[in-house]
C-alpha cells in the first residue's frame, strides 16, 4: 500500500513569492470552473468574462491572452511588439535579462539593450543612451521599452515616472511593455488603481502576473494598444503558451481580479515585508540596502548569519553582492513567520 507524501509542515520560507501555495479563493474558483464542458482554446465563458473584468480594471477595452508563465507572457508580448530586426531597451536587472535563461533571445529572437541602474528603475536618460545607431543597418533597432513593475530590486515606479518613460518612448517611435509579474504589489504600494500607472499613462502592453500573487500558474498578455502588436494569437501558439482548457487559467485570474483579492493579497505581502524590514533593521550589524516598496527586503547580514539560518528559512544571496540577501514575503506570510525569522537573525548575529 502506498502512503501519501509527507508535508514538511506549515513553515513559510522567504526565498520567493513563488514558494507560496495557491490561495484558497483561487482553488475554490478552479473547482467551480471544473463543471461540464466548455469550448476549448479560449472560447469559453470564463475567458470572455476575464476580458470584461480586466477592461474594467484598466479603464478601456483590452485584448487578453492567458498564458502559463511569466516568461511566456514576456516573450509572446515582446515578439508581437517588434519586427525581426527590433531591440528592447530594459535595465540590466530586468527579469527578461537576468532570470529567463535567454528565452527572449533564443525563443523570441530579440536583442536586449540593457541599461545599468542603481535601483532597478529605468529613466528617460537611460532610454536616450540606448537610442544610438538608429537607421544603421549594422545595428538592432530599438523598438520597445520594457519596464518591470515592481522591479527586480523591489522598487516601484510611480505613475509620473511611468508617464515620463512612455512620453519619451512614444515621441521616439517606440512602444512600452510592462512586465507586471508583481503588478498588484505596485498598486498596493501606490494606493492607486491598476489603470493609474498603466493605461492612463501610456503603457501599450502588459504581462499581467497572477502566479506570484496566489494563482497556481496563470499569467496573461494584456494588450492596451492594438496598434502596438501584431499576431499575438499566432505567437502564443508558436511559443507553446496556448492552453486547450483555458478556462482554468482564466478562472484563476478572474478569482484575483474580479473582486479585491489581487490587491488584498498583495497588500498583505507588502505589509509583511515592511514588518520584516522594520524589525530586522534593529538587529546589530544588519543593513537594509534598498528601499522596501513592495514585498521584497534586500538586507546585508553580518558574516556567517545567512549561512547558519538559510536551510531553515530558505532565501537567496543576491548575485554579485557579497553579504546581500533577498527576503520575499507572500500572501500567506504571517506576522509569526516574520518574527521567527527576525529572532533567528538576532540570535545568530549575537554569536
Q: Is residue 3 part of a domain?
A: no
Residues 219 and 69: their CA atoms lie apart, in Å, by 6
Residues 334 and 282: their CA atoms lie apart, in Å, by 20
Q: Show which of 228, 259, 290 is a domain's final residue.
A: 259
Grid cell for residue 175? 512602444
CATH of the domain at 287: 3.90.1150.10
CATH of the domain at 105: 3.40.640.10
Same domain, yes or no: 280 and 329: yes
- pLDDT at residue number 8: 53
Same domain, yes or no: 52 and 174: yes
- pLDDT at residue number 322: 82
> Domain of 227?
23-259
Mean pLDDT value across the chain: 95
Q: Show which of 259, 287, 319 is a domain's final residue.
A: 259
- pLDDT at residue number 12: 75
Count: domains in the chain = 2
Same domain, yes or no: 124 and 252: yes
Strand partners, 176: 145
Lowest mean pLDDT among 7-21, 28-42, 72-86, 237-251: 7-21
Residue 26: how many other CB atoms lie within 10 Å: 25
DSSP assignment, residue 19? G
Q: What is the mean pLDDT of residues 108-116?
A: 96
More confident residue, 5 or 41: 41
pTM metric for this prediction: 0.95
Q: Quick check: helix, strand or coil at residue 113?
A: strand
Question: What is the helix (H) or strand (E) element at residue 179, kind and residue range?
Answer: strand 175-180
Q: Is residue 59 part of a domain?
A: yes
Q: Is residue 16 part of a domain?
A: no
Same domain, yes or no: 268 and 255: no
pLDDT digits (tens, 9 = 90+) for 147-180: 999 999 999 999 999 999 999 999 999 999 999 9
By C-alpha distance, which of 271, 261, 222, 331 is closest to 26? 261
pLDDT digits (tens, 9 = 90+) for 179-234: 999 999 999 999 999 999 999 999 999 999 999 999 999 999 999 999 999 999 99
Kindly give, in sequence order, each residue whose CB lies less than 8 Å from that of residue 275, ignoring residues fewer than 6 positions away: 335, 338
Q: What is the mean pLDDT of residues 263-270?
A: 98
With bands split at pLDDT 50, 70 and 90, how would you rate the model's confidence at 11?
low
Same domain, yes or no: 47 and 134: yes
Amino acid at each position: 500500500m502506498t502512503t501519501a507524501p509527507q508535508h514538511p509542515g506549515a513553515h513559510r520560507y522567504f526565498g520567493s513569492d513563488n514558494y507560496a501555495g495557491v490561495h484558497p479563493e483561487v482553488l475554490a474558483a478552479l473547482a467551480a470552473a471544473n463543471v461540464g464542458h466548455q469550448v476549448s482554446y479560449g472560447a469559453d465563458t470564463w475567458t470572455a468574462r476575464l476580458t470584461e473584468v480586466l477592461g474594467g480594471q484598466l479603464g478601456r477595452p483590452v485584448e487578453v491572452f492567458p498564458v502559463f508563465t511569466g516568461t511566456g507572457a514576456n516573450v509572446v508580448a515582446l515578439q508581437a511588439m517588434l519586427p525581426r530586426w527590433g531591440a528592447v531597451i530594459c535595465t540590466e536587472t530586468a527579469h527578461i535579462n537576468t532570470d529567463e535563461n535567454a528565452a527572449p533571445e533564443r525563443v523570441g529572437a530579440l536583442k536586449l539593450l540593457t541599461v545599468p541602474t542603481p535601483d532597478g528603475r529605468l529613466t528617460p536618460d537611460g532610454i536616450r543612451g540606448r537610442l544610438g545607431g538608429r537607421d544603421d543597418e549594422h545595428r538592432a533597432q530599438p523598438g520597445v521599452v520594457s519596464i518591470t513593475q515592481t522591479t527586480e530590486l523591489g522598487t516601484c515606479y510611480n505613475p509620473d515616472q511611468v508617464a515620463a518613460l512612455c512620453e519619451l518612448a512614444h515621441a521616439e517611435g517606440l512602444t512600452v511593455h510592462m512586465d507586471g509579474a508583481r503588478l498588484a504589489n505596485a498598486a498596493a504600494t501606490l494606493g492607486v488603481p491598476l489603470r493609474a500607472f498603466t493605461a492612463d499613462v501610456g503603457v501599450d502592453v502588459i504581462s499581467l502576473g497572477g502566479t506570484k500573487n496566489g494563482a497556481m500558474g496563470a499569467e496573461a498578455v494584456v494588450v492596451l494598444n492594438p496598434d502596438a502588436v501584431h499576431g499575438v494569437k499566432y505567437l502564443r501558439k508558436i511559443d507553446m503558451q496556448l492552453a486547450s482548457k483555458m478556462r482554468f487559467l482564466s478562472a484563476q485570474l478572474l478569482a484575483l481580479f474580479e473582486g479585491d483579492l489581487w490587491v488584498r493579497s498583495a497588500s498583505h505581502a507588502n505589509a509583511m515585508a515592511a514588518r520584516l524590514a522594520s524589525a530586522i533593521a534593529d538587529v546589530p550589524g544588519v543593513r537594509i540596502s534598498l528601499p522596501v516598496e513592495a514585498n521584497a527586503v534586500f538586507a546585508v547580514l553580518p558574516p556567517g548569519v545567512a549561512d547558519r539560518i538559510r536551510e531553515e528559512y530558505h532565501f537567496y544571496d543576491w548575485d554579485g553582492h557579497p553579504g546581500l540577501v533577498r527576503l520575499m514575503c507572500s500572501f500567506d506570510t504571517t506576522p509569526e513567520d516574520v518574527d521567527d525569522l527576525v529572532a533567528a537573525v538576532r540570535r545568530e548575529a549575537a554569536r
